[in-house]
Amino acid sequence: MTGLKITEYPAVVLAEVGAPVEQFDAELAKLCEDMFETMYAAEGVGLAAPQVGLGLRLFVMDCDGIKLVAANPEIVAEEGEQVGEEGCLSVGKIGAPLKRPMRVTLRAQDMQGNWYERTAEGLAARCFHHETDHCDGTLFIDRLTPLKRDMVKKKFQKQKKWG
Ligand code: NI
């Protein structure tokens, strides 16, 4: 396995809509393995391809007992709402409270290309939403109010300078 470099805000690839995953081969399996290793090393619960510099619709996650690979993910149902502290490996894990649906159904393909649906609640639902957003070029800070977004950006700049 190989640890990958995590792409950080404001890299352009983080703001782009990813291309669909079309090849379900050994190369994809290796990429997913490397993404899991990178995510665990960074103590994250989810990691999307744009976060390792690849403009692809793909993420891995291991959150709240749900471990999966999601290629070409879509959110097909959502209900309720939750407000919780959220952060992102591409923004220095600086947290801010953000509203997301409480219950989310994800539709995606596994590493073999088989379609599946998975419904989650709470933290795992937040993760489904956050990682699918990455595949659409959306960061959690894009969903914050301008004031909160500036606060996170400032903290991140400080962290990069002194960290
Ligand atoms: Ni993220």
Tokens of 15: 């703001």
pLDDT digits (tens, 9 = 90+) for 148-161: 999 999 999 999 88
Ligand 1 geometric centre to CA of 29 (Å): 21
**Residue 16: per-residue pLDDT:** 98
**Residue 35: per-residue pLDDT:** 98
**Polymer length of the chain:** 163
The single residue of 22, 27, 74, 131 carrying the catalytic annotation is 131
Report the candidate in 146, 156, 129 with the shortest Cα–Cα distance to residue 11: 156
Domain residues for 145?
12-162
Ligand 1 geometric centre to CA of 130 (Å): 6
> Would you call 129 helix, strand, or coil by DSSP?
helix
CB 101 within 8 A of CB 78: yes
* CB half-sphere exposure, 115, CA atoms < 13 A: 5
How many structural domains does the chain have?
Answer: 1
**Residue 128: per-residue pLDDT:** 98
Tokens of 56: 């692809």
Q: Is 54 domain-assigned?
A: yes
Distance CA 163, CA 64 (A): 29
pLDDT digits (tens, 9 = 90+) for 134-145: 999 999 999 999
User: Is 131 one of the catalytic residues?
Assistant: yes
Residue 1 has pLDDT above 80, yes or no: no
Q: Is 73 domain-assigned?
A: yes
Q: Mean pLDDT across the chain, nearest whole number?
A: 97
Q: Is 23 domain-assigned?
A: yes
Q: Is 5 domain-assigned?
A: no
Residue 2 has pLDDT above 90, yes or no: no
Q: Is 118 domain-assigned?
A: yes
Entry pTM: 0.97
- Going from the C-alpha of 160 to that of each of 81, 91, 94, 139, the distances in angstroms are 33, 10, 12, 18
Ligand 1 geometric centre to CA of 152 (Å): 13
pLDDT digits (tens, 9 = 90+) for 60-111: 999 999 999 999 999 999 999 999 999 999 999 999 999 999 999 999 999 9
Q: Is 146 domain-assigned?
A: yes
- Give the domain CATH number at 146: 3.90.45.10
**Residue 100: per-residue pLDDT:** 98
**Average of pLDDT values for 119-136?**
98
Place of tokens 């991140």: 156
**Residue 88: per-residue pLDDT:** 98
CB 129 within 8 A of CB 75: yes
Q: Is 6 domain-assigned?
A: no
Q: Is 3 domain-assigned?
A: no
**Degrees (nearest 5) of the Cα angle 46, 48, 50?**
150
Ligand 1 geometric centre to CA of 47 (Å): 6
pLDDT digits (tens, 9 = 90+) for 17-35: 999 999 999 999 999 999 9
